[in-house]
Amino acid sequence: MTESNPKSPASTPANVEGEGSYTATHRYNEKLKKQLESADIEALAEQARKALEGEEGEELREAEQRAKQGPPVRKPAPEPGHGKH
C-alpha cells in the first residue's frame, strides 16, 4: 500500500474496523451465548404462543411474511443525462 492510498494501515486509526467489525461480532456472540444459557426458553415460547393467538397475532404473521420476502427490490436511479427531456 502506498502513501497515496487513504485506506493504508498507516493512515487508518487502529480502533477503526470498518463494516466487518470483529469486536462487535464477538460482543454480540458473547451476549447471545449468555442469553441462551440463562433464558427460560419454555416461558419465552409460551409468550410467543400467546402473542400469536392474541390481538397482535395477525400483525405478527404479516410481519413474518414480510421478513420472509426480504427487502423490497428497488429500481436503480436513472443515470444523469438519461432522463426524460
Q: Does 58 reside within a domain?
A: yes
Query: What is the pLDDT confidence band of residue 1, given thresholds at 50, 70 and 90?
Result: very low
Q: Does 16 reside within a domain?
A: no
Q: Does 54 reside within a domain?
A: yes
Q: Does 14 reside within a domain?
A: no
Q: How far lies 83's CA from each of 62, 73, 74, 75, 80, in Å? A: 37, 21, 17, 14, 7
Q: Find out whether 1 and 8 touch, Cβ atoms under 8 Å.
A: yes
Q: Does 79 reside within a domain?
A: no
Q: Does 46 reside within a domain?
A: yes
User: 16-69, pLDDT tens digit by residue?
Assistant: 777 778 899 999 999 999 999 999 999 999 999 999 999 999 999 999 999 999
**How many domains does the chain contain in total?**
1
Q: Find out whether 60 and 51 touch, Cβ atoms under 8 Å.
A: yes
Q: Does 31 reside within a domain?
A: no
Q: Does 30 reside within a domain?
A: no
Q: Say which amino acid occupies 45.
A: A
In angstroms, rounded to a whole number, what is the distance separating the alpha carbons of residues 35 and 41? 10
Question: Which residues span the domain enclosing 57?
Answer: 40-68
The answer to whether the pTM exceeds 0.85 is no
Query: What is the pLDDT confidence band of residue 85, given thresholds at 50, 70 and 90?
Result: low
Q: Is 12 exposed, middle or buried (0-12, 13-18, 19+ CB in 10 A)?
A: middle
